[in-house]
Chains A and B, each alone.
Chain A
Amino acid sequence: MTVLEKFLSGDQAALARIITFIEDRQEKYREVLARLYPQSGRAVKIGFTGPPGAGKSSLVNSIARLLLARGHRIGIIAVDPTSPFTGGALLGDRIRMVDMPTDGSVYIRSMATRGSSGGLAAATGNVATALDAFGFDFILIETVGVGQVELDIVDTCDTVIVVLVPESGDAIQALKAGLMEIADIFAINKADRPGSENIVAELNMVLELKRNKIEWDLPVIATEAINNKNIDRLLEKIDAHLGYIKTSGLFEKHRREQIKNKLFGVMQFHFNNLIRQEIGRITDLDKVISDIYEGKSDPFTVGESLLKKISGIQPLH
């Protein structure tokens, strides 16, 4: 039996192998993805983002437990940063997710960003596709906590939860940084700490303006992940948001948008490879560079003519 066949028969260890294969971009990984893609599309993807230590993992853990209790199967992807200096990474999100059932109803995978800077790893979307194809009902995705906008998450998920804490005091800061644009729901976690009412009120005030412009009411929920407080309310809002995007047609629109981006991404990937390959083939590359260096030519003209030579594509102007 091949690993893919085992995957299709529901073997979690095979899922784990396939994910490594995709993540490492081993030979033929695109072929694997091409086989899995048609089986995906059913799972709901929920993203959790926010500053370091806000409680993203703890919330993922609590939400996952509620979803499990409803009888759903859950896949979790937790992303942590790769060290730019050593290429190594320390993946610690699982610590918050211990004692999960080991009966196959939940699968957790830690990923390192491996050089990607948008909050997720380059392969996170593909890994989500694998989890989706494997048959999970919900996929919960936690970004690295860098505290700035992590746009990848929007491009991967149906519902995005921005997690903030009372002390961050940087609620407004976060909004300025653009988190308002990506959030569907705000969770003010660690509500057991002083100051949580303030930040909820503050946030609600700022959001009022935006709420007037859209149909979704951008809820703000004060949660206590460690005390399991208000997690049910957070989940209600997730349900509500999913209901809203489905009835309003946003769900489909968003998914089509994601497909478009994916298509572009795939083409871009091939194209980049092509260019890299072709550039490698230019025998007089050194001379071309020298010409530009000495001012005899410029990168714009040379770039365009090289492009034409490679693929016959006419550059746009």
Chain B
Amino acid sequence: MIEKDALKSLDEKKKNWEKKAEKLRQVKSRPRFITVSGEEVKELYTPEDLKNFDYNEKLGLPGEFPYTRGIHHTMYRSRLWTMRQFSGMGTPRQTNERYHYLLNHGQTGLSVAFDLPTLMGFDSDHVRSLGEVGKCGVAVDTLADMEIIFDGINLGEVSTSMTINAPASILLAMYLAVAEKQGIPFAKLRGTLQNDILKEYIAQKEWIFPPRPSIRLITDMMSFCTDHVPQWNTISISGYHIREAGSTAAQELAFTLADGFAYIEAAIADGQDVDKFATRLSFFFNAHQDFFEEIAKYRAARRIYARRMRDKYKAKDERNWLLRFHTQTAGCSLTAQQPENNIVRTALEALSAVLGGTQSLHTNSMDETMALPSDKAALIALRTQHVIACETGVVNTIDPLAGSYFVESMTDKMEADAEKYLDEIDRRGGVLKCIDEGYFQREIARAAYRYQQEIERGERIIVGINDYLVEDEVITIPILKIDETVEREQVASLRKIKSGRDNDKVKRTLDDLAMAAKGNGNTLKAMLDCVRVYATEGEIVDTLRPIFGEYIEPPII
């Protein structure tokens, strides 16, 4: 990257500089200079750090292998990232209203958040659902709820992302059934399911079945979508939750990629052609507070993925080499104290995601540590993206930080650290084995504990938490409270559906599903029949539970 003579003269200059710096180093503005992940950062990066840097091998051009600089030739000059704010709340009707509001205010994709009972496969009238219905998202029990959520929204024209994992097939089946009713062919549907069960065992803990049958549900869905819903992104392989659970950036990167490769291997083992399904896999990363570390993470992710897809999994179609990803700013970086500061945090995090080349972005609302976002907070969060896109100039040129001694060094280090983890996972017998043994869970819990200790020792300052406090702070931002009547309303509407449907048909389709699950039938296809006759999510899960078993986590701290 730099000529020999220049390096030599730099070396001499550096000796001089070192003498002066030596004295000044006695004074330190911070006790340690570490990233959010606890990695030491050098005082200075120079061409010496990139001595053997081969531009073509490491970076190449945007839209070309190894995609370090971005997956599109023209990046944001042609098309901005998709601004996709995750939302969903209360009853299906309230959610539908919020979607119409967001679409009218310039949002370009829908994103559905479900409540915890839905995420865990319990109907709203289940005892375990008590107090949780409609709290962290919208409650969906049957197709009827899904029909209301998308009422007046043409499914052929929007792209919809659904944050759902363990029961993802059921919710996809419902979405497909709504499309049928609207007369939209499956082939026209665009959207993404999170459907990443591996990271549930690793981090988010919203599971139902044990890992192996869960993977079966996913491979069934992948093959169904390849045949019938070709534009649907089947899995959004998520590091977001791994990071929220307390991992470092390198762990987030490595564990997420490992999960992705595990799905790919499972589908290949199922007899599917990597070139047919891999285009519909995408990733979902966290944008945390350490600006450069995050940018390095996204760049390294693309490079590692491209190499493996081409060389290890032998994908021939170039489109299958590129790692597309969604980003959400880090919920765990927000503070309940002085919540307005969260707007600034989110803006910086969002900027790192854009500079890292994200395909879509969710920016958190400032009140997220306290409740679901209020309208005002949600709008500020969306406007943050508009400001970055229109006012800062960062979209003018592609991958503007490329060539920075620091950023390229960080990118290389991130790649090397992630590769080390990937090797370790292989050595331990693969992702499922590591889950069984609690390897990921333990690594993450340790990192989280270390991070907390750094804060408590004052090695890490969090504004408003361990420094720059405001005494007797009164929080003045409005907080959205979910009305406790939501639960009652939802339970009542579920009862009504149940009493109005054809229970014989429900039983028959559920029996067919059980048959498919026990044998080799496609479970998604069978679920589609169940939801069409208004079988509830809970009934479908209860049908599968005795066949697949239930997951219990290893106790790991």
Contact among A53, A90, A95 with B553 in the assembled complex (CB-CB below 8 Å) = A95
Which residues of B (533-557) have their CB < 8 Å from a CB of A? 549, 552-557
B437 contacts chain A at the CB level, 8 A cutoff: yes
| Contact between A92 and B549, CB atoms less than 8 A apart | no
| Contact between B437 and A96, CB atoms less than 8 A apart | no
Which residues of A (85-102) have their CB < 8 Å from a CB of B? 90, 92-93, 95-96, 98
| Contact between A90 and B549, CB atoms less than 8 A apart | no
Task: Kindly state the separation between the CA atoms of A53 and B433 in the bound complex, as whole angstroms.
Answer: 12
| Contact between B549 and A96, CB atoms less than 8 A apart | no
For B212, give the chain A residue with the smallest CB separation: A192
Which residues of A are found within 8 Å of B557, using beta-carbon distances?
A: 90, 92
- How close is B120's CB to chain A, nearest CB, in angstroms? 15
Which residues of A are found within 8 Å of B555, using beta-carbon distances?
A: 90, 92-93, 95
- How close is A196's CB to chain B, nearest CB, in angstroms? 15
| Contact between B437 and A53, CB atoms less than 8 A apart | yes
- How close is A90's CB to chain B, nearest CB, in angstroms? 5
Mark B432-448 against chain A: 1 for CB-CB distance below 8 A, else 0. 00000110000000000
Which residues of B are found within 8 Å of A92, using beta-carbon distances?
A: 555-557
- How close is A161's CB to chain B, nearest CB, in angstroms? 21
Which residues of A are found within 8 Å of B553, using beta-carbon distances?
A: 95
Contact among B210, B437, B549, B552 with A95 in the assembled complex (CB-CB below 8 Å) = B552
A248 contacts chain B at the CB level, 8 A cutoff: no
Which residues of B are found within 8 Å of A302, using beta-carbon distances?
A: none
Task: Kindly state the separation between the CA atoms of A53 and B552 in the bound complex, as whole angstroms.
Answer: 13
Which residues of B (461-476) have their CB < 8 Å from a CB of A? none
Task: Kindly state the separation between the CA atoms of A243 and B436 in the bound complex, as whole angstroms.
Answer: 37
| Contact between A53 and B210, CB atoms less than 8 A apart | no
| Contact between B549 and A227, CB atoms less than 8 A apart | yes
Which residues of B are found within 8 Å of A53, using beta-carbon distances?
A: 437-438, 554
Size category of the binding interface on chain A: under 10
Which residues of A are found within 8 Å of B554, using beta-carbon distances?
A: 53, 95
For B555, give the chain A residue with the smallest CB separation: A92
- How close is A120's CB to chain B, nearest CB, in angstroms? 19
Task: Kindly state the separation between the CA atoms of A240 and B177 in the bound complex, as whole angstroms.
Answer: 57
Task: Kindly state the separation between the CA atoms of A93 and B555 in the bound complex, as whole angstroms.
Answer: 8
| Contact between A226 and B210, CB atoms less than 8 A apart | yes
Which residues of A are found within 8 Å of B437, using beta-carbon distances?
A: 53
Say whether chain B's binding surface is mostly helix, strand, loop, or mixed: loop
Which residues of A are found within 8 Å of B438, using beta-carbon distances?
A: 53
What number of B residues sit within 8 Å (CB to CB) of A? 10
- How close is A252's CB to chain B, nearest CB, in angstroms? 39
For B550, give the chain A residue with the smallest CB separation: A226
Which residues of A are found within 8 Å of B556, using beta-carbon distances?
A: 92
Which residues of A (212-232) have their CB < 8 Å from a CB of B? 226-227
Which residues of A are found within 8 Å of B549, using beta-carbon distances?
A: 226-227
For A193, give the chain B residue with the smallest CB separation: B436
For A58, give the chain B residue with the smallest CB separation: B552
Task: Kindly state the separation between the CA atoms of A97 and B115 in the bound complex, as whole angstroms.
Answer: 27
Task: Kindly state the separation between the CA atoms of A98 and B552 in the bound complex, as whole angstroms.
Answer: 10
For A96, give the chain B residue with the smallest CB separation: B552
Task: Kindly state the separation between the CA atoms of A113 and B552 in the bound complex, as whole angstroms.
Answer: 25
Task: Kindly state the separation between the CA atoms of A95 and B551 in the bound complex, as whole angstroms.
Answer: 12
Mark B361-390 against chain A: 1 for CB-CB distance below 8 A, else 0. 000000000000000000000000000000
- How close is B497's CB to chain A, nearest CB, in angstroms? 29
Task: Kindly state the separation between the CA atoms of A96 and B554 in the bound complex, as whole angstroms.
Answer: 8
- How close is A242's CB to chain B, nearest CB, in angstroms? 29
Task: Kindly state the separation between the CA atoms of A250 and B210 in the bound complex, as whole angstroms.
Answer: 43
Which residues of B are found within 8 Å of A90, using beta-carbon distances?
A: 555, 557
Residue from the set B437, B549, B554, B555 with the largest chain A CB neighbour count within 10 Å? B555
- How close is A21's CB to chain B, nearest CB, in angstroms? 27
Which residues of B (200-215) have their CB < 8 Å from a CB of A? 210
Task: Kindly state the separation between the CA atoms of A171 and B494 in the bound complex, as whole angstroms.
Answer: 54
Task: Kindly state the separation between the CA atoms of A259 and B280 in the bound complex, as whole angstroms.
Answer: 68
Task: Kindly state the separation between the CA atoms of A95 and B441 in the bound complex, as whole angstroms.
Answer: 16
Mark B174-187 against chain A: 1 for CB-CB distance below 8 A, else 0. 00000000000000
Which residues of B are found within 8 Å of A93, using beta-carbon distances?
A: 555
Which residues of A (39-91) have their CB < 8 Å from a CB of B? 53, 90
For B437, give the chain A residue with the smallest CB separation: A53
- How close is B549's CB to chain A, nearest CB, in angstroms? 6
Residue from the set A93, A95, A98, A227 with the largest chain B CB neighbour count within 10 Å? A95
For B438, give the chain A residue with the smallest CB separation: A53
- How close is A51's CB to chain B, nearest CB, in angstroms? 12
Task: Kindly state the separation between the CA atoms of A37 and B230 in the bound complex, as whole angstroms.
Answer: 72
For B433, give the chain A residue with the smallest CB separation: A167
Task: Kindly state the separation between the CA atoms of A65 and B549 in the bound complex, as whole angstroms.
Answer: 17
- How close is A259's CB to chain B, nearest CB, in angstroms? 36
Task: Kindly state the separation between the CA atoms of A227 and B213 in the bound complex, as whole angstroms.
Answer: 13
For A92, give the chain B residue with the smallest CB separation: B555
Task: Kindly state the separation between the CA atoms of A48 and B62 in the bound complex, as whole angstroms.
Answer: 60
Which residues of B are found within 8 Å of A226, using beta-carbon distances?
A: 210, 549, 552
For A91, give the chain B residue with the smallest CB separation: B555
Which residues of B are found within 8 Å of A227, using beta-carbon distances?
A: 549
Which residues of B (255-302) have their CB < 8 Å from a CB of A? none
Which residues of B are found within 8 Å of A96, using beta-carbon distances?
A: 552
- How close is A14's CB to chain B, nearest CB, in angstroms? 28
Which residues of A are found within 8 Å of B210, using beta-carbon distances?
A: 226
For B553, give the chain A residue with the smallest CB separation: A95
Task: Kindly state the separation between the CA atoms of A93 and B553 in the bound complex, as whole angstroms.
Answer: 11
Task: Kindly state the separation between the CA atoms of A226 and B436 in the bound complex, as whole angstroms.
Answer: 12
Mark A164-181 against chain B: 1 for CB-CB distance below 8 A, else 0. 000000000000000000
- How close is B449's CB to chain A, nearest CB, in angstroms? 12
Which residues of B (156-210) have their CB < 8 Å from a CB of A? 210
For B557, give the chain A residue with the smallest CB separation: A90
Which residues of B (419-460) have their CB < 8 Å from a CB of A? 437-438
- How close is B214's CB to chain A, nearest CB, in angstroms? 14
Task: Kindly state the separation between the CA atoms of A226 and B437 in the bound complex, as whole angstroms.
Answer: 15
Task: Kindly state the separation between the CA atoms of A226 and B552 in the bound complex, as whole angstroms.
Answer: 9
Mark A97-127 against chain B: 1 for CB-CB distance below 8 A, else 0. 0100000000000000000000000000000
Task: Kindly state the separation between the CA atoms of A53 and B556 in the bound complex, as whole angstroms.
Answer: 11
Task: Kindly state the separation between the CA atoms of A19 and B553 in the bound complex, as whole angstroms.
Answer: 28
- How close is B556's CB to chain A, nearest CB, in angstroms? 8
Task: Kindly state the separation between the CA atoms of A90 and B556 in the bound complex, as whole angstroms.
Answer: 9
Task: Kindly state the separation between the CA atoms of A53 and B555 in the bound complex, as whole angstroms.
Answer: 10
For A226, give the chain B residue with the smallest CB separation: B549
- How close is A138's CB to chain B, nearest CB, in angstroms? 23
Task: Kindly state the separation between the CA atoms of A90 and B438 in the bound complex, as whole angstroms.
Answer: 15
Residue from the set B210, B552, B557 with the largest chain A CB neighbour count within 10 Å? B552
- How close is B82's CB to chain A, nearest CB, in angstroms? 40
- How close is A306's CB to chain B, nearest CB, in angstroms? 47
- How close is B207's CB to chain A, nearest CB, in angstroms? 14
Task: Kindly state the separation between the CA atoms of A226 and B553 in the bound complex, as whole angstroms.
Answer: 12
For B551, give the chain A residue with the smallest CB separation: A226
Task: Kindly state the separation between the CA atoms of A95 and B553 in the bound complex, as whole angstroms.
Answer: 8
For A90, give the chain B residue with the smallest CB separation: B557
- How close is A248's CB to chain B, nearest CB, in angstroms? 39
Task: Kindly state the separation between the CA atoms of A98 and B551 in the bound complex, as whole angstroms.
Answer: 12
Which residues of A are found within 8 Å of B552, using beta-carbon distances?
A: 95-96, 98, 226
Task: Kindly state the separation between the CA atoms of A98 and B557 in the bound complex, as whole angstroms.
Answer: 18
Which residues of B (501-557) have their CB < 8 Å from a CB of A? 549, 552-557
| Beyond known contacts A53-B437, A53-B554, A227-B549: 5 more, CB 8 A cutoff | A92-B557, A95-B552, A95-B554, A96-B552, A226-B549
Q: What are 19 A-B contacts defined by CB distance under 8 Å?
A: A53-B437, A53-B438, A53-B554, A90-B555, A90-B557, A92-B555, A92-B556, A92-B557, A93-B555, A95-B552, A95-B553, A95-B554, A95-B555, A96-B552, A98-B552, A226-B210, A226-B549, A226-B552, A227-B549
Nearest 3 pairs of A and B residues by beta carbon: A92-B555, A95-B555, A90-B557
